[in-house]
Amino acid sequence: MKQLLMIMTLLTICINSLTAQTQKTIDKIGGSIYYGDYVKELKSENDLPKNIQSNLKGYLNKILPSITDSITFSHGQIIDLKRLFEKEPSTYNNFRIIPAYELSFYLRKKSIGVKNYYLEIGLDEYGQILETNWPKETFSFESFKTLKEIETTALKHIAAKKMEYKSYTFDLVYKKDTDKLFWIIAFLTKTEGTRNEYYEIEFPWNSLKISDEGFGYKQILY
């Protein structure tokens, strides 16, 4: 597939900071992949075919049964796969299976510290889920550890290690390889030239027990 299919019209941006100047919430904002003139833009899930609406509703009720009222439609697109592949028949360069329906939602649950979580769902023409950035297991938000609880536990852990840091940031991350959701807090420990050194602490979404920790590095973008 030509390179234009991989261009993001709006890159996913995570502006998550626990500095004194910012609000302590997850605020993940996302966009769409650009498919040229092979798409029909959607402004509402009601514009979807009835069978797709039914499967989408069933899927959301399955994974997030207690907070479907906290999920709002953002945008979406119907991809004309037949016309696209007639013009672009080579598929071996594709980095993913292209869905027939690409939908974006925002999950908002301020009680746990989530202002916006960008939820992406890709479905085939029959309404089967091809991809998403949320675990397949059914979530009980009564078990969800809050950002405040995670922050408190991480700060105690860093203090016990007597580790110095300049600031810290945080995120709520879906890991596709394990199909799990994690809280991650990254403490900025050092800046060397064009890169920052971080000490990252990872917690499962429903536990205050650390699942992973260690140093990492990120290039500074100017």
Are 81 and 184 found together in one domain?
no
Residue located via tokens 């009835």: 50
Distances in Å between the Cα of 153 and the Cα atoms of 75, 108, 145, 210 are 36, 23, 11, 9
**φ and ψ of 6, to 5 deg:** -105, 0
Identify whether 141 is part of a domain: no
Residue 76 belongs to domain spanning: 3-132
Question: Strand, coil or helix: what is 89?
Answer: coil
The pLDDT assigned to 23 comes to: 54
Quick check: 36 and 11 in contact, CB under 8 A? no
Round to whole Å and give the CA distance between 189 and 179.
30
Are 47 and 121 found together in one domain?
yes
Distances in Å between the Cα of 185 and the Cα atoms of 37, 79, 100 are 40, 37, 35
pLDDT tens per residue, range 168-177: 999 999 999 9
Which of 82, 101, 132 terminates a domain? The answer is 132
Are 34 and 91 found together in one domain?
yes
Identify whether 138 is part of a domain: no
Q: What is the pLDDT along the chain (222 residues), one digit of tens a residue?
A: 444 333 333 333 343 444 333 458 899 888 889 999 999 999 999 999 999 999 999 999 998 887 778 899 999 999 999 999 999 888 877 888 999 999 999 999 999 999 999 999 999 999 999 999 999 888 888 899 999 999 999 999 999 999 999 999 999 999 999 999 999 999 999 999 999 999 999 999 999 999 999 999 999 887
Are 101 and 160 found together in one domain?
no
Are 54 and 114 found together in one domain?
yes
H or E stretch covering 180: strand 180-192
Are 18 and 128 found together in one domain?
yes
Are 21 and 119 found together in one domain?
yes
Are 120 and 187 found together in one domain?
no
Which one-letter DSSP state was computed for residue 45?
G
Identify whether 137 is part of a domain: no
Which one-letter DSSP state was computed for residue 32?
-
Identify whether 175 is part of a domain: yes
Are 114 and 161 found together in one domain?
no
Which of 83, 108, 132 terminates a domain? The answer is 132
Q: How many domains, in total, are found in the chain?
A: 2
The pLDDT assigned to 174 comes to: 96
